[in-house]
Chains A and B, each alone.
Chain A
Amino acid sequence: MKPGAVPDLAVGLGVVVLGVLAAWLTWVIPVTPVYAVVGPKLVPAVIAAALVVLGLMLTAAALRGGWSADLPEVAEAGPPNLVALAWLGGGMVLNLVLIEPLGFSIAAAIQFVCTARAFGSASILRDAAIALAVSLAAFFLFVEALGVNIGAGLLEGAILRLLGQEVP
């Protein structure tokens, strides 16, 4: 097997695993008390079976040498930039952790700074200022214009109070 085909093999096997998972999830669908020509399990079963078959075919394609190593986009790309990915992923995790305690704008601003850093921006303060402006604008757009409440956090609550409005 060509060395470039190893990731493809993982993808093929991954699709097989997804198909098996789908089959198991189909298996545990409760039996319906309602009579139906097509019960709740038929279509999921067909999809699970198709995913297993497609996964096996992808695996076979990988064993024959794979496909992705020959793509121009992959062949021309340099080594993966793990530092950038780590910054981006870190920003996502921080956002997930902070969005409930600190509120949406602060969490989004931190994520913005991390993401911009991932793509090589060095000016943290400027990025933070842009991020706060963008996320606060989005927050008020959601709350005021669309009437969708996305939960005021520390910063949003403070601003709403400054404006003399109720904090939703």
Chain B
Amino acid sequence: MDSLSGLALGFGNAFSLVNLAWALLGCFLGTAVGVLPGIGPALTIALLLPITFSVNATGAFILFCGVFYGAMYGGSTTSILLNTPGESGSIITALEGAKMARNGRAGPALATSAIGSFVAGTVGTLGIAFLGPVIVEWALVLGPAEYFTLMVLCFVTVSAVLGSSALRGLTSLFFGLLLGLVGIDLQTGQPRLTFGVPELLDGVNVVLVAVALFAVGEALYMAWHHHAGKQEVLEVGRLMLSKEDLKRSFWPWMRGAGLGFPFGVLPAGGTEMPTMLSYYAERKLVDPKYAPEFGTTGAIEGVAGPEAANNAAAAGILVPMLTLGIPTSATAAIMLSAFQSYGINPGPLLFTQQAELVWTLIASLFIANVMLVVLNLPLVGLWVRILKIPVPQLYAGILVFATIGTYGISNSVIDLVILYTLGVVAMFMRRFDFPVAPVVIGMILGPMAEQALRQALTISQGDWTVFVTRPGSAIILGLAVVALVGPKLYGAWSARRA
């Protein structure tokens, strides 16, 4: 199906009352969790996974994607008004956004980030609609060998390239891969790493791991560092963009969207890198007249660009997830496990076998974008009120919901023990600067990579050279090696020159 007829089909379905309701609910929840510090989209979608038992796949994914997009919008509100990023993609927004708010320009900062998010979200979603089918065409020729190397590339980029240390990122990744191994080996039927505990034969539940890493670990870490003191929510003021603000925001939006989307599509994942690049670009490209505003009173370009980059990257992340079945962020990894619980295998065949689902989802993303601008601009007062939930009750609520979500799946106290134990591990990971996203990605992608490895070697009759003799997989493997050792070599080379 080509993109236009796909979109026509999708919009036809997405405008049903039920699907609109799912989109609205997702956007609302997503903005709320984006606003609240301490919870993000990965945790929220993990806690919502039980709905896959009783809601059809289309409704569930519209909800999940609404949460995913909504969190990107909501995060900026917290960054600007509280100077505490609500989620990782908004860290850069806090730099200029909070300074603008402190100088009485919170309104324009919120407006430029919401409209920028809308522009970039729409550009990004168009990107999904038109790039998706192209990638699918190309992906259909990939065999298990290419898939395996693609997953290896994804492992390398999410753990070793992003983040502050390749060593710690890889440690997180392998910890996740280890967790993913627990349970019965599907090919040979042997139990692995179960300690003889029958509850572990089915593997460690992904909800449990996500909740432990993102909620319990976070709460423990916050308690560890808790000291009395109140955070101040800055005043919003007037939400209008003046003509000058609009003129100054327009090109940063466009550049941000152009920068963010490709980063999301590449298996490099994450929204941190494009937002950072967009910030530096805007700082360089700003009209010299406004350049002194950067870092002092807050420059609107430094909010508009990164916010657009953030949302476009979020849209981009959905491309490899839907077309290749490869998640490049923790949230996408959890959405992938939702596909698995419906018995749907994301990958090139998704666009043909589940065309209706895919196109309805893409159409809903456009609708969600419109809903989110409305939710975020006129209703900003509501989110400010959510920001004022006191910290004790907020974290108590997060922990109780984490417990409900975990206990609700299995009614098992053993699961709660695992939840809290992993939560303590996650607390130490935070303290020692180990990223948690590679754990989730490793856990979900690991078993798929092992399966692809086995298929590739079965086809090649046990010949390990298949990964370097097939040109596709050789190129991808080469990229992975470059991504792994390239930065180190470059560092050594430039140190030697200096």
Residues of A whose CB lies within 8 Å of any CB of B are 7-8, 11, 15, 18, 22, 25-26, 29-30, 32, 34, 36-40, 43-44, 47-48, 50-51, 54-55, 57-58, 61, 67-68, 71, 73-74, 77-78, 80-81, 84-85, 87-88, 91-92, 95-96, 99-100, 104, 108, 111-113, 115-121, 127, 130-131, 134-135, 138-139, 142, 145-151
Given contacts A111-B399, A121-B393, contact A37 B50 (CB under 8 A): no
* Residue from B188, B224, B417, B428 in contact with A81 in the complex, judged by beta carbons closer than 8 Å: B224
Query: 24 A–B contact pairs at CB < 8 A?
Result: A11-B432, A15-B171, A26-B192, A29-B190, A30-B190, A30-B191, A34-B189, A38-B187, A39-B188, A67-B432, A68-B433, A78-B225, A81-B224, A81-B225, A85-B223, A85-B224, A112-B399, A115-B395, A118-B392, A120-B391, A121-B390, A142-B408, A147-B53, A148-B53
Q: Does B11 contact A (CB under 8 A)?
A: no
Contact A99 B407 (CB under 8 A): yes
Q: Looking at chain A's contact residues, is the secondary structure mostly helix, strand, loop, or mixed?
A: helix
Q: Which residues of B contact A95 (CB under 8 A)?
A: 403, 416
Q: How far is the CA of A22 from the CA of B219 in the complex (A)?
A: 28
Partner of B188, one of A34, A74, A99, A121: A34
A150 to B187, CA, bound (A): 33
Report the minimal beta-carbon distance from B450 to chain A, rounded to whole angstroms.
5
CB distance from B429 to the nearest CB of A (A): 9
Identify the stretch in B65-73, B175-183, B479-487 within 8 Å (CB) of chain A at 4 or more residues: B175-183
Is A111 touching B224 in the complex (CB atoms < 8 A)? no
What 3 A-B pairs are tightest by C-beta distance, nearest first? A121-B392, A119-B392, A115-B396
Give the CA-CA distance A116 to B392 in the complex, in Å: 4
Residues of A near B295 (CB, < 8 A) are none
Query: Within the assembled complex, what's the spacing in Å between the Cα atoms of A131 and B400?
Result: 8
Q: Which among B193, B401, B404, B433 is the interface contact of A22 at CB below 8 angstroms?
A: B193
Chain B: which residue is nearest A44 at the CB level? B181
> What is the chain A residue whose CB lies nearest that of B430?
A73
Nearest CB of A to B487, in Å: 16
Measured between beta carbons, the chain A residues less than 8 angstroms from B391 are 119-120
Number of A-B contacts (CB under 8 A): 198
Interface segment out of the listed B87-95, B231-239, B451-459, B488-496: B451-459
Q: Are B395 and A119 in contact (CB under 8 A)?
A: yes
Do B174 and A54 touch (CB < 8 A)? yes
How far is A80 from B53 in the complex, measured between Cα atoms in Å?
A: 42
Q: Which residue of A lies closest to B429 (CB)?
A: A11
* Cβ contact within 8 Å between B227 and A81: yes
Which residues of chain B are near A77, meaning CB under 8 Å? 225
A35 → chain B, closest Cβ, in Å?
9
- Contact indicator B54/A32 (Cβ below 8 Å): no
Cβ of B230 to closest chain A Cβ, rounded Å: 10
A40 to B114, alpha carbons, bound, how many Å? 50
Contact with A along B32-73 (1 / 0, CB 8 A): 000000000000000000110110000000000000000000
- Residue pair A85, B413 in contact (C-beta under 8 Å): no
With the chains together, A138 CA to B416 CA distance in Å? 17
Contact yes or no, A134 B171, CB < 8 A:
no
Q: Are A81 and B226 in contact (CB under 8 A)?
A: yes
